[in-house]
Amino acid sequence: MNHINFLILIGILAMATIKPIHAQPVVIKITDIDISRKGDIIVMLFTKEGFPKQHLLAKQKQQTHASTESLSFTFDEITYQEFAIKVLHDEDSSGEVSKSWTGIFPSEGLGFSNGATLFFGPPSFKRAKLSLIDINEPIVIPVAYP
């Protein structure tokens, strides 16, 4: 077997072992919403870029009034192999996480995918990421309030 045929064979074998990622909807169920607080629930889907602070870099975003203790959101046609979700109870309609009087800690409810929590700052993408190939039911994210 010559060198070129060998490289072609290696390429074919490599492609055969990669699982294709098909576009699929992802359902996010937000729980533990404090309806005594005003504002909207914002759900943002990120790839690694911009997570979790740069909301403008979210790949998809949905928002609705915080009217019930749980809400469901569906993101259609997700093709990202890995992604993370951030949930913000935006009480002051700023579109950003407001801080408490300390200027450090959030004053609004937050939630993250994969059970990631605030611990000396926001979670990393690595702690919050999900793999599309592993999702077969709604992703449940509780909102935690300060």
For the stretch 12-68, pLDDT in tens is 655 554 444 578 899 999 999 999 999 999 999 999 999 999 999 999 999 999 999
pTM of the model: 0.82
Is 107 part of any domain?
A: yes
Question: What pLDDT is stored for residue 111 in this prediction?
Answer: 97
pLDDT over threshold 90, residue 2: no
| DSSP reduced 3-state for 73 | strand
Domain assignment present for 3: no
101 belongs to a structural domain? yes
3-state secondary structure of 61: strand
47 in any annotated domain: yes
The pLDDT mean for the chain works out to: 89
61, 96 in Cβ contact below 8 A?
A: no
How would residue 85 be classed by pLDDT, with cut points 50, 70 and 90? Answer: very high
Number of folded domains that form the chain: 1
Structural domain that includes position 49: 22-142
Evaluate whether residue 5 is within a structural domain.
no
* Spatial distance between the Cα atoms of 38 and 45, rounded to a whole number of angstroms: 23
**C-beta of residue 45 within 8 angstroms of C-beta of residue 29:** no
- What CATH number does residue 35 fall under? 2.60.40.2990
Domain assignment of residue 28, yes or no: yes
For residue 29, what are the CA distances in angstroms to 3, 7, 62, 109, 139? 53, 46, 12, 15, 6
List the beta bridge partners of residue 26: 75
In a domain, 16, yes or no: no
For 115-135, write each residue's pLDDT tens digit: 999 888 899 999 999 999 998
Of 36, 44, 20, residue with least CA distance to 132: 20
Phi first, then psi: give them for residue 47, nearest 5 degrees.
Answer: -90, -170
- Domain presence at residue 13: no
**pLDDT for res 23:** 80
